[in-house]
Chains A and B, each alone.
Chain A
């Protein structure tokens, strides 16, 4: 078990290194110029050179890369070109903000999706519930996340006025963790969270439904039925066994689902990592964009690792070696 985790950690480090390297070279090889805005305002050549030096963009690509990796190993992501301060200081609060919608959104989306998926999978084959469940889930799955956001904003913010239309809280000064405990924060959290849930839900639902349909004809389900336990309990056995593929799917799919969160952050003006990444890219703020990307990749890798471990908890047949 221990050896297994260590080996998987080592693998994860390799993967993160590879992703970091790809990102580094992408940013360096591409033509965009981070000094462009200053150039338009009349930056002189010497000053530009000084600036590039300050930003660590002079010297051979290889030297830059080595320096970058060295700094990274010491936990130094460099300084943001735009904010002129360490990237970590900029990103840390934003990560927390992103996790606030990502984690509950993912968990609730998976849980609700799994619950409905079980019901749909357990329903009569070809029956109304099954068919409408599948149809609706497939259609909702096809709704782009920004359309979900737009629809929620239009209905619940502009028209009904139940929820605020943007941001994470009314401008105020509660700082630190305390602000996350206010009603105002919850009020702002609702719509983006619902959007994330709706985004995750259908895929989980369909997956769970497939699993339940596959499992419901298994012999052990028959035996459970024969035991005379309540129907819900029988369905639970099918669901419990279908969770395994769900978990294996759910975590790797994070790579795709982080994407959904980026767009939702933008639509709802949620100050998170994804939104900052998009802004940083448009400003040619390499260090910030690279670090944001790095963090997203690390999140995915860790989630994969977590998935393996959770899988072991859920499926007694799994042995780590």
Chain B
């Protein structure tokens, strides 16, 4: 399918933020990353997201010190019976699970799993997507062909079913879940970043730089990368959200890492023990935390989206 060429003149390159003039030397990728970050923070919704995210990171780091109990430890009553399904009390501020474990402690440890999955997936997906996206967009040719064929196939693979099959077959563990998430999400990222690179490399200054004899590496690092950073950040933010959602879904379906407690798993335990609709103190914290975390990532992602699309920016 092609769109009929429009006889209208091709609009000139959309100027970027305008804050940094683009010279033949380009700009440092770090400065560009920082610019993009600053611009994102100007969006008040994104700021909410950043604040929530920061709180979550702090909680994740401090979880072992904040958690009043070992997340697997069974609470006993004075009569020596298991203290199951207790609503919130002073000793267990978030109540206990159907197995007599402290909900608060499990909940707090859940921050670690969620953020670890998010972080590792972000690094892995971000790195691989950027690598392939830039290589295939910049050099084209075989890399590009192969990448595009792979993504054609990959885009027809239903994500969660694939994740279910792969994790069930590989065995449920955080490592495998992250592996599967990486396999699933790099392709979209690479495709998105590739198209951003394709636009960038047609820019006049890139052509100048090339005419001036700059090396490919220099051009990629100083001209291409800094200008696709917003897309990369957008994609990383989205893939962190996808990764967390996928881990939660897999855990909810009973394919979570049994050695770590994640929110999806807490919900799965409540679900599979039939306590889902009664033990609200067990169900609400992980649900709310998941919603907050993923939503704040989306809020941040949205800010990047507005950045990457100049037509969305307010004039």
Touch between A and B in complex, CB under 8 Å? yes
Q: With a CB–CB cut-off of 8 A, which chain A residues contact B161?
A: 258-259, 262, 274, 277, 292-293, 296
Taking the complex as formed, is A138 at the interface, i.e. its CB lies under 8 A from any CB of chain B? yes
A138 and B302 within 8 A (CB): yes
Category for how many chain B residues contact A: 35 or more
For A288-306 the 0/1 string (1 means CB < 8 A from B) is: 0100110011001100100
Query: Within 8 Å CB of A134, what residues of B?
Result: 45, 302
B70 within 8 A of A: no
The number of residue pairs between A and B whose CB atoms lie closer than 8 Å in the complex comes to 169
Q: Are B1 and A311 in contact (CB under 8 A)?
A: yes
Q: List 6 A-B contacts (CB under 8 A).
A: A138-B45, A138-B302, A206-B302, A217-B311, A255-B157, A263-B249
Contact indicator B302/A258 (Cβ below 8 Å): no
Within the complex, the shortest CB–CB distance from A172 to chain B, in Å, comes to 25
Residues 273-315 of B contacting A (Cβ, < 8 Å): 276-277, 283, 287, 290-299, 302, 305, 309, 311-312, 314
Kindly provide the distance from the CB of B180 to the nearest chain A CB, expressed in whole angstroms: 11
Chain A residue contacts of B309, Cβ below 8 A: 210, 214
| Given A150-B267, A281-B168, A255-B2 contact (CB < 8 Å) | no
Chain B residues with CB under 8 A of A143: 290-291, 294-295
Contacts of A252 in B (CB 8 A): 155
B-side binding surface: helix, strand, loop or mixed?
helix
Contact A142 B45 (CB under 8 A): no
A113-139 near B? 1/0 per residue, CB < 8 Å: 000000000000110000100110011
Determine chain A's interface SS by DSSP, over half rule.
helix
Listed in ascending order, the chain B residues whose CB lies under 8 Å from chain A are 1-4, 6, 45, 152-153, 155-166, 168-170, 241, 245, 248-249, 252-254, 264, 267, 271, 276-277, 283, 287, 290-299, 302, 305, 309, 311-312, 314
- Give Cα A144 to B297, complex, Å: 13
Distance to closest chain A CB from B301 (angstroms): 8
Fill in one digit per residue for A28-59: 1 if any B CB lies within 8 Å of its CB, else 0: 00111000000000000000000000000000
Contact residue among B152, B170, B295, B312 (Cβ-Cβ distance under 8 Å from A214): B312
A131 to B248, CA, bound (A): 29
Given the known A-B contacts A141-B295, A213-B312, A214-B312, are A147 and B290 also in contact in the complex, defined by CB atoms under 8 Å? yes
Residue interface bits A227-239, CB-to-B below 8 A is 1, else 0: 0000000000000
Q: Chain A nearest CB: distance from B241 CB in Å?
A: 7
